[in-house]
Structure 1
């Protein structure tokens, strides 16, 4: 019989989808620190952005215009560096794709890594995807190819934010962002010197639970179309996604492993993101599987296998991920193309919940992979 199944999975909040199924799915070495300086061209007032992330040295931010077809889309990014006479080596950090995706999830990790004293002077750039975070959110037809095109353009742009990173770039991504990066590298569209995949995923929330048969794809299309409509779309988005109770439930059920770490400040900050103009367009694509870079675990493993012997690849799994997402991460343990596999506390956003643990694993990977080369 048909019923409404409430579920929490991947990086999305609760949704209700009419469907036929038998049951619903419910669901961190010692080092030294030096003063940190953050460089960029414009400043954002973080007192209006995040309750949780105020520091003595507030971040400065910049924007970059991405040309997509006939549109110019303002892309938000920030850069973290420390004062050093040595030329920097570049890290690009890509946020996990979700309805509340934001550069904030990587900020503590970026600051931790760039402050460490070692053989390499690291510089970290964090960028919001188009349609998410503090980037513009135009009404375009978002899919995995669009996001891959953005990533490629951002990395390869002449006079772009990381234009000095040729043959000198490590990409770190969470969730779908990691898999999109690996796919672009396999195609030869980007040439990072290493990739770190943190809690990597490849399937959107609805497909991972309800599958991809023709009947379900029709339902996904109907839901996606409804969410994109002018009036009804906002009503549905506000009811299912853009409310504080839904966001709190999302974080406590699968985004964070420890519900005590879900503070009112986190919820308020993420709720504000869902109120930005155009906020519902990309999440509508993510929830219904249009942003999935592959369609099966076999394809997922093949992407990583192609990197075997070419570049170092770190996979960071988490102890408390949802069952289905955890199974995909575990499939990469010992898999071809994966140079190192580690596990840290957390669920789908360990870089935000346990930044010290994630930063330590990432820094050790960077040391093992690069310091002896310079």
Structure 2
């Protein structure tokens, strides 16, 4: 008999930042010890990318997957998002929305913010799973630095009239597909028309450009330098951190992940396939790796 997946429940919670009252969305699924699933920060990311992994883990955990502020498919206010805002939101989630989780799974930049959050009080560290962890945005990673002219790019995209047009020009369907094929997904066929449509809806949401351009240009990086990221990783409690990434991860990102693993002092789980979106594309493999080390979590 095929086992029915636990029901999913969408909810919202309120959070304020910079004079704006925001309604943030999350999805709950399953019962058991509480597990927080943090999606990556990217121009096409939402909590929906965690849905395949969430369904796998829901048989063992009460899973909670929220959207980061400024991301997701809902309309967003004009906010000049900063690392301080993202850090404050994560603190709110961990103290008010999903307090004391037994497990936290964080993908991409979410892993960087989680390391930043816990580095000041490593004794509070629950079981952590960092999936393809990153701390530096796409353009700074490609260039190896954050040139000053990136601020002018952000200012141009923020403009009321020209900004949306510039953003749409640089994040159209062709660009999204090229980005996804280059460093997010392994199989080009995985990005079906339905999935592509969902990614386009993320990029087209009103106000999406404000967080998107800041992520791409490095203005939402949780750390200034690799040394800062490695110091936070080194502060984590030994035996509480698992790291997972795919063998097809882009070279520069993979090198940064390896340096974080060395700082934590863990041997990563490297899947034979997968790029930065492996938690979505290969959710079954990622879930198996997590559950293989989660037997004693209560």
TM-score, reference length from structure 1: 0.75
Deviation at residue 221 of structure 1 after TM alignment: 0.6
Identify the range of structure 1 (147-156 vs 294-303) with the bigger mean alpha-carbon deviation: 294-303
Counterpart in 1 of 2:20?
A: 71
SS in 1 for 2:10: strand
Deviation at residue 70 of structure 1 after TM alignment: 2.5
Counterpart in 1 of 2:29?
A: 80
* Mapped contact 1:170–1:192 kept (Cα < 8 A): no
The separation in 1 between residues aligned to 2:121 and 2:20, in whole angstroms, is 25
Deviation at residue 308 of structure 1 after TM alignment: 3.6
1:178 matched to 2:131? no
Deviation at residue 339 of structure 1 after TM alignment: 3.8
* Mapped contact 1:100–1:274 kept (Cα < 8 A): yes
Q: In the superposition, relative to structure 1, how do residues 343 and 205 fare at CA in structure 2: closer, same or farther (>3 Å)?
A: same
Counterpart in 2 of 1:155?
A: 94
Identify the range of structure 1 (186-195 vs 256-265) with the bigger mean alpha-carbon deviation: 186-195
**1:79-110 CA distance string (max 9 Å, x none):** 0114xxxxx21110111110111111111111
Deviation at residue 292 of structure 1 after TM alignment: 0.8
**1:92-138 CA distance string (max 9 Å, x none):** 011111011111111111111222xxxxx411000000000135522
1:206 matched to 2:139? yes
Unaligned runs of at least 5 residues, structure 1: 1-31, 39-58, 83-87, 116-120
2:83 to 140, 144, 161: 144
SS in 1 for 2:164: helix
Counterpart in 1 of 2:58?
A: 114
Counterpart in 1 of 2:130?
A: 197
The separation in 2 between residues aligned to 1:110 and 1:33, in whole angstroms, is 18
Deviation at residue 287 of structure 1 after TM alignment: 1.2
* Mapped contact 1:128–1:135 kept (Cα < 8 A): no
The separation in 2 between residues aligned to 1:273 and 1:109, in whole angstroms, is 19
SS in 1 for 2:37: strand
The separation in 2 between residues aligned to 1:182 and 1:66, in whole angstroms, is 22
2:240 to 306, 312, 324: 312
Q: How does 1:87-106 map to 2 (within 5 A)?
A: 88-106=32-50
Deviation at residue 205 of structure 1 after TM alignment: 1.2
The separation in 2 between residues aligned to 1:330 and 1:254, in whole angstroms, is 17
1:341 matched to 2:271? no
* Mapped contact 2:6–2:55 kept (Cα < 8 A): no
The separation in 1 between residues aligned to 2:144 and 2:83, in whole angstroms, is 18
TM-score, reference length from structure 2: 0.93
Q: Which has the higher helix share?
A: 2
Counterpart in 1 of 2:154?
A: 224
**1:36-66 CA distance string (max 9 Å, x none):** 333xxxxxxxxxxxxxxxxxxxx33111111
**1:159-185 CA distance string (max 9 Å, x none):** x3x2xx43x432111111001001100
2:168 to 238, 242, 262: 238
Root-mean-square deviation over aligned CA pairs: 2.0
1:255 matched to 2:184? yes
SS in 1 for 2:260: coil
Matched residue count: 297
